[in-house]
A and B are shown apart, each in its own frame.
Chain A
């Protein structure tokens, strides 16, 4: 089937009253970003849907990218037929029926809608003419009104017929950016990329905050976090990646804090730093990949002892999911294989053999107060690096730079 357009129907935003224009504008921008690798494509936002005119671009590739844009309920590949060429509409309808109902005994239906009421034939005429044509070519098929195997939709507009039969579920959710901005604490494990995906799904524009501790953590670990960001960026267009040097803080904590509280105090530093970065960058909340009770730092007591450092909303999209449920999503968004690559990250390194699962808040505060907190944090913040990551970016070119690869290929 040679499709000429893809039509996308807006999701929840149809119900958003007067904010509608902002939502559509944002969605349009996000779609443009997600489809920028298709230069010939033209994007036409309408009141309740988006028309993507392919101009020769590959429909499958376009739909593959479109399927990752939040705020789209469903989408359909469409064949546009000039208004003068009704015979061609019959042909296209037949092709679609052939594609969707290849076996004898299956059923089809023709469903016409006219937005141009001046067109010579009315909906019944069109349904009949096209239906007869298909029936004649495919006498092995039944016509079925209630639950046909293939429903060919013909839309008559002033300029052309728009014929389609597939309706593919979109990514749902809200357009990224319509819910404001937040920081996401990205470790490199399985959970935090999933949390990032879920945050994006609700329209939150996230920025990744990643702590790294050279020489204890390798460049591979940093690149892994960046590559995970690239995977998630497929749902956002692009994501800012903020790397925070954490070596000095970890060494200092290790030196001065009793073993049982190493983890709790480190986490308090991380959260406080993230909150400072959030304030600088005008975010409204912090997301992380914590799941209740999964590890020592994620018991409710630990959360309380760590969360103590800020009043900023800390959102935990995977808090109530089981590991297997999180893994299912990770596989779906293609981060799982990457997440399980074994590079030491800043959470596993310096991890005490027996961290407190029920840390005492007062004692955590006390141990921390013995350290030069402000100075340590100022030095860490002075060393942060921000880079913008796009979906197609590659970082884990293990042992090879992208320049080396470009030179070869």
Chain B
């Protein structure tokens, strides 16, 4: 089996799963309990937070645990909206955000907020100048992703930060779900960023766990209210087993991160080189530092993405149409659409997404399979 769908989800790491099991069985207490069993769980919780903060080079009090990327995005967007509504009801985002962002915005629109959905250029990038022009006196939030999940385009976060330097009261949120473990810390450490969203299962941690970085002193309303966990910002009994597992997974993914990202980039480069030898191909993810090292989006023109996915599946190779979230709905990619890609081309796009466990040997098998599939559908090419 060749698993090339790591942007959809990753396989949980064995030792991470062991941590999950050990904490569930041996340290199952509620961190809020006063007794020893509770204290043990609380110790694990706080140590996990410390480890994650250290790995991200932020303060432990700036890390909040959530159920994943979708919750993180929802919380920061709606939490900012609730907090800052008295000051303004205008929010800026882009047309290529993850549905967790887009649909949160849609919901806020129905509540009377005004949302500017910034367009992207033909390559898939938000233009910081357009963003600057969209800013109004009542703008309260800018939410732009770090790495696009469909084509891997790295958005100009530093340039946007530079624009926002003149507007210190605007919250700057970055959905960094696809940016973790890909040697992009330089991007994520941009000091103007106020909030970052992360999801555990994108880096070999379990499902149902994620974390948010929220800069100290930046105000946000809680999204989940209740027993006051996470300093009253995210109530609900802490998912200690998953939190500990995620802390371990983050440590593992951060070990030799640069080397691992370079290896993925090398595989991607090889794939791009081989695939683009064929005439009837369109590549959306370029081989330069404006694109993440692990995502490769391409089209075999004239063949629907779904067909290509299944053709690879028959050879025990797993890729996806552009994003797992929309792939079952049969819609064309929203990112490619925003880029102005014609519908027929967008419908034929597929995404290969790598992680540190993928090998060059797998890439060679993939290329061999690709050639067979490419020739198999030859009669479809105009």
Contacts and interface: CB of A to CB of B under 8 A. Distances in A.
A343 to B, nearest CB: 12
A408 B23 contact: yes
A58 interface: yes
Nearest to B39: A398
A102 B22 CA distance: 50
Interface string A1-25: 1100000000000000000000000
A340 interface: no
Interface string A383-409: 000000000001001111000010011
B215 to A, nearest CB: 10
Contacts of B251: 409
A98 B166 contact: yes
B258 to A, nearest CB: 14
A1 B191 CA distance: 7
Contacts of A397: 43, 47
B267 to A, nearest CB: 28
Interface residues on B, range: 20 to 34
B376 interface: no
B165 A400 contact: no
A40 interface: no
B30 to A, nearest CB: 14
Contact of A405 (B39, B42, B44, B166): B44
Contacts of A408: 19, 22-23, 44, 244, 248
B48 A61 contact: no
A102 B168 CA distance: 7
Interface in B124-159: none
A397 B23 CA distance: 15
B36 interface: yes
Given A408-B244, A409-B244, A2 B191 contact: yes
A398 B44 contact: no
Given A398-B36, A398-B43, A409-B51, A98 B165 contact: yes
Nearest to A397: B43
B247 interface: yes
A99 interface: yes
Contacts of A398: 36, 39-40, 42-43
Contacts of B189: 58
A378 interface: no
Tell which of A102, A400, A409 has the most Cβ of chain B within 10 Å.
A409
Nearest to A58: B57
A218 B9 CA distance: 47
Contacts of B57: 58, 61
Nearest to B23: A408
B290 interface: no
A98 B169 CA distance: 12
Interface size class, chain A: 10 to 19
A400 B51 contact: no
Contacts, number: 48
B241 to A, nearest CB: 10
B19 A409 contact: yes
A95 interface: yes
B43 A405 contact: yes
B68 to A, nearest CB: 20
A400 B168 CA distance: 43
Given A58-B189, A408-B19, A399 B248 contact: no
Interface string B14-42: 00000100110001000000001101101
A95 B165 contact: yes
Contacts of A95: 165
Interface in A1-56: 1-2
B247 A400 contact: no
A400 B43 contact: yes
Interface in B163-222: 165-166, 168-169, 189, 191
A399 B189 CA distance: 35
B169 A399 contact: no
B65 to A, nearest CB: 14
Given A398-B39, A408-B23, A99 B165 contact: yes
A98 B166 CA distance: 6
Q: Give the residue among A58, A95, A397, A399 with the most B Cβ atoms within 10 A.
A: A399
B43 A409 contact: no
A405 B191 contact: no
Interface string B321-347: 000000000000000000000000000
Chain A CB within 10 Å — which of B23, B43, B247, B251 has the most? B43
B295 to A, nearest CB: 27
Contacts of B40: 398-400
A394 B47 CA distance: 10
A235 B166 CA distance: 37
Nearest to A398: B39
A399 B23 CA distance: 14
A399 B35 CA distance: 10
A58 B168 CA distance: 20
Contacts of A405: 43-44, 47
Interface string B38-65: 0110111001100100000100000000
Contacts of A400: 27, 40, 43-44
A67 to B, nearest CB: 14
A405 B42 CA distance: 12
A409 B47 contact: yes
Contacts of B247: 409
Contacts of B166: 98
A2 B169 CA distance: 19
Contacts of B43: 397-400, 405
Interface string A266-290: 0000000000000000000000000
Interface string B245-268: 001100100000000000000000
Given A397-B43, A400-B44, A408-B244, 8 more contacts: A98-B165, A394-B47, A399-B36, A408-B22, A408-B23, A408-B248, A409-B47, A409-B48
25 contacts: A2-B191, A58-B57, A58-B189, A61-B57, A98-B165, A98-B166, A98-B168, A99-B165, A102-B169, A398-B36, A398-B39, A398-B42, A398-B43, A399-B40, A399-B43, A400-B27, A405-B44, A408-B19, A408-B23, A408-B44, A408-B248, A409-B19, A409-B47, A409-B247, A409-B251
